[in-house]
Amino acid sequence: MKSQFIHSLWIGVVAGCFGGLVGLGGGVVMIPLMVAILKITQHRAHGTSLFALVFTGITGAITYGMKGSVDVIASLILAITAIFTARLGARFANSLPEWKLKRAFGAFLIFAALILIAKPYLGELHHFEIEGIAKIITLLIIGVFAGFLAGMMGIGGGTVMVPALVLILNFGQHIAQGTSLLCMVPAGAVGAYTHLKLGNVIRDLLPGLVLGIIGGTYIGSNIAHALSDAYLRVIFSLIITWTGIRFLRTPKPVK
């Protein structure tokens, strides 16, 4: 039990630092580590990750909010649709055989790596303003996709939300990340509860993961406001891509 707590604690710290620093959610780090180090199934890694990442949202949103980098209204609008699709995503993940879920997660990791590399250039692609009702509708649509992805992949949804907010709605990078972290709280909680009901959450791992995530997210969120993350993004992207390729190569079971 002590060894399990120590492993889950440092996994939480690493995931929290990553999530707070780049705003994409620590699940892209936490899930592969739990599968490789703790030897748990892909389904239970997704459910446990999402449950723990609710605390990433709370800690990260508070830290970003103290620096004025959270759009509370936008977060609430995003959450309106995300809380419904997060539940659907969790149920869809549970319906997949493990080898298919691993391949889907591998493809998602590679997508996340591409988003990380492209982040500095997303804002430069924006050439128009969306305001009023059109902005509300856009936020609701973003929430649909972000919520489903969060529930299915066991992540916070920032992989969809952050680039969409920057590219489509012209949010600043820090505000987009802070807003994404706040939206993660209600949307992630719904998806996590669904995974819990489906038996995909390992409760014994949560104390270590949550403590690690709270500390790691605080560190990562503060570093994000103080340093350029260019080199870290490249390093993370390479690691995530390599991990994603390994998951994509998961063999189909022989009947």
Higher pLDDT, 82 or 63: 82
pLDDT higher for 227 or 3?
Answer: 3
Mean pLDDT of the chain: 83
Q: What is the pLDDT of residue 67?
A: 82
Instruction: Answer whether residue 233 shows pLDDT above 70.
Output: no
Q: Do the domain assignments include residue 49?
A: yes
Residue 138 pLDDT: 93
One-letter amino acid at 172 equals G
Report if residue 253 sits inside a domain: no
Model confidence at 80, pLDDT cuts 50, 70, 90, reads: very high
Q: Which of 223, 208, 214, 143 is nearest to 179 (CA)?
A: 143
Per-residue pLDDT at 225: 61
pLDDT in tens, 214-230: 888 778 767 766 655 56
Please indicate, yes or no, if residue 118 is contained in any of the structural domains: yes
Q: How would you label 196-206 residue by residue, b for 16+ Cβ within 10 Å and e otherwise?
A: bebebbbeebb
Residue 24 main-chain phi, psi, to 5 deg: -110, 5
- Can you give the pLDDT at residue 205? 92
Instruction: Give residue-wise pLDDT tens across range 159-171.
Output: 778 778 877 888 8
pLDDT score, position 237: 76
CA 183 to chain centroid? 11
The CA distance from 167 to 240, in Å, is: 23
pLDDT tens, position by position, 4-57:
889 899 998 888 787 667 656 677 888 888 998 888 999 999 999 888 888 777
Query: Is 108 contained in some domain?
Result: yes
Q: What is the largest distance, in Å, between two alpha-carbon atoms of the chain?
A: 55
Number of neighbours of residue 134 by Cβ within 10 angstroms: 11
**Cα separations in angstroms, 222 against 117, 159, 161, 198, 210:** 21, 20, 20, 36, 18
pLDDT reading at 235 higher than 80: no
Which phi and psi angles does 93 have, rounded to 5°? Answer: -60, -40
- Name the nearest CA neighbour of 124 among 174, 180, 163: 163
Q: Confirm whether pTM is higher than 0.85.
A: no
The total number of structural domains in the chain stands at: 1
- What does the DSSP 8-state code read for residue 38? S
Q: Tell me if 56 is assigned to some domain.
A: yes
* Residue 255 in domain: no
Secondary structure of 53-94 in the HEC alphabet?
Answer: HHHHHHHHHHHHHHCCCCCHHHHHHHHHHHHHHHHHHHHHHH
Q: Domain limits at 99?
A: 2-248
**b/e for 43-59, b at 16 or more Cβ within 10 A?**
bbbbbbbbbbbbbbbbb
Q: Measured on CA atoms in the order 143, 32, 200, 214, is the torsion positive or negative?
A: negative
**What are 122-171's pLDDT values in tens digits?**
655 555 677 889 999 999 999 999 899 888 888 767 777 877 887 788 88
Distances in Å between the Cα of 197 and the Cα atoms of 86, 149, 190, 194 are 14, 19, 11, 5
Give the integer Cα–Cα distance in Å for 194 and 200. 9
For residue 254, being part of any structural domain is answered with no
End-to-end CA distance of the chain: give it in Å, rounded: 36
Q: What is the pLDDT, as a whole number, of residue 252?
A: 84
In this prediction, what percent of the chain has a pLDDT beyond 90?
29
Q: How many CB atoms are closer than 10 A to CB 188?
A: 34
User: Cα angle at 56 between 229 and 49, to 5 degrees?
Assistant: 105
208 pLDDT tier (thresholds 50, 70, 90) = very high
Residue 95 lies in a domain: yes
pLDDT at 83 over 80: yes
